[in-house]
Amino acid sequence: MSTTLAPRQLRDLPGPRGLPLLGQLLEIEPARFHQQLEDWRAAHGDLFRLRLARREFMVVAEPEACAAALRDRPGGLGRTQRIVSVAAAMGFSGVFSANGDDWRRQRPMVMAALDPRHLRSYYPSLAKVTARFAGAWRRAAEGGEAIELQTSLMRYTVDAISGLAFGVDTNTIESEGDVIQQHLDKLMPAIFRRTLAPLELWRLGLSRADREVAAAVREVAAAVEGFIAQARVRLAQDPALREKPRNLIEAMIAAADTPGSGITDRDLAGNVKTMLLAGEDTTAHTLAWMIDLLARNPEALARARAEVDRVLAGRPWPESIDEVAALDYVEACAHETMRLKPVAPIMALQTERSSVIAGVELPAGALVMFLFRAPAVDARHFPDPQRFDPGRWLEGGGADAGSAKRIAMPFGAGPRICPGRYLALVEIKTVIAMLLAGFEILGVDTPDGGPPQERLALTMAPVGLRLRLACRRSSAGPGP
């Protein structure tokens, strides 16, 4: 005779002790909230509860439960009401924050634009930005100047996504004046602060910070409206672009204009803004973490450089997407970076119906926080889990890369897996190839001389990295 255990309730789970009514609210340090959650997980296990005033969360760090829950979308879980509200107020009502039918309506347009088959036609734009970026780094190296790594990389990713996505040459890399990046930099931290805030006082616009965010939102909206208008002019002048778009925005407009798509101008603008914002932070942060980890692991750095030299054969950066695809070890370094330093170490979702997650019964509207890094650095899943070992991701490297990807999920999982993951990897591999082909890394410095500190502001970034480079004597190719 078999018996089935009844599901547990949220109140049955352990958790940190907190204050009456407030729970852990006053303990939260937003910049290291992910680390606090990981510490509580170490103390209370892979399932625990957390209260932030009126909001109570179930926190989940079991990879199988995380993956199963992420596959139960849309329908079972969706974005929280708070993130939907914040994103809508800031004009980012795209697939990232959409739920249910809104998500189903918008997803085909975004997937059409980010189809990996389009990347071949988009790649010349990325190569152009990479050439300009190499020139900026070469001038810094020849002048003995340290590079503010995060600022520099975010300028690259803004230019890359502007060219790839919008067909616009923003050239923030070489600009000293007002650039769109200065406005984008205010938005991701603001989204994070507003999702954590117990009350939506920011809607009153009373603080200087909230007024600056409002101004940044207006500037980005105006820029995006310009990108869309320019793309519509190009499509009107050359209708053939609807079949063979040269960039993501042309592909999105063509998909949106398909009869029956149901896509509104608001949907289009929201997704363009989302693509611009997400394409800046996430890729730049991953690149910064990866450069630091390679600098701290000379054997991996030497192997990655040898692969780049073999594939590029003296060229200063990849000239085709085929060369990017051949950089298998560089890609393994990217995956290992994202295992140790995922830019999205946590994700909060909300149940859309009564659900059972990891054996815990939850009503509709329950809040669930998923921890992605915790299982990825757990010795139960990866031997010597804190070691930077890209070989884990290669066939015959001593581990099942397929199993590893089911534990470490930097792009999420299930139907709502990040649609930009292929583009992100292409950008990451292109920059690393340019770096290793043309430069020696003299050092990656931090303010205190130790490993870089982590700072969470919706995405997780390293703090204060400064890159020192020297030009490789053996590198070929003229500077841009």
Contacts for 206 with CB less than 8 Å, ≥ 6 apart: none
Residue 1 lies in a domain: no
Predicted pLDDT of residue 368: 97
- Going by pLDDT thresholds of 50, 70 and 90, the confidence category of residue 173 is confident
Stretch 316-327: mean pLDDT: 95
Query: Could you tell me the residue range of the domain that residue 80 belongs to?
Result: 8-471
Task: Residue 92: count other Cβ atoms within 10 Å of its Cβ.
Answer: 24
- Contact by Cβ (8 Å): 125, 319: no
Residue 41 lies in a domain: yes
**CA 362 to CA 137: how far, in whole Å?**
52
pTM of the predicted model as reported, rounded to 2 decimal places: 0.90
Stretch 66-93: mean pLDDT: 89
Closest CA to 90 of 217, 180, 186: 217
CATH number at residue 134: 1.10.630.10
Stretch 51-79: mean pLDDT: 93
- Encoded tokens for 309: 């030299």
- Going by pLDDT thresholds of 50, 70 and 90, the confidence category of residue 478 is very low
The sign one gets for the Cα dihedral 189, 345, 287, 453 is positive
Predicted pLDDT of residue 1: 42
Residue 210 lies in a domain: yes
Predicted pLDDT of residue 389: 96
More confident residue, 169 or 363: 363
Residue 172 lies in a domain: yes
pLDDT at residue 75 tops 50: yes
Stretch 170-194: mean pLDDT: 76
Say how many residues make up the chain. Answer: 480
- Contact by Cβ (8 Å): 454, 34: yes
Look over the chain and give the mean of its residue pLDDT values, rounded to a whole number.
Answer: 88
Stretch 417-430: mean pLDDT: 90
pLDDT at residue 227 tops 70: yes
Consecutive H or E run containing 216: helix 208-237
Predicted pLDDT of residue 231: 87
**CA 103 to CA 249: how far, in whole Å?**
18
Predicted pLDDT of residue 112: 75
Stretch 383-398: mean pLDDT: 86
> In the chain, how many domains are there?
1
Max mean pLDDT range (165-179, 275-289, 323-337): 323-337
Residue 21 lies in a domain: yes
Stretch 126-143: mean pLDDT: 94
At residue 454, φ and ψ (nearest 5 deg) are -95, 140
How far is CA 190 from its chain centroid? Answer: 16
pLDDT at residue 138 tops 50: yes
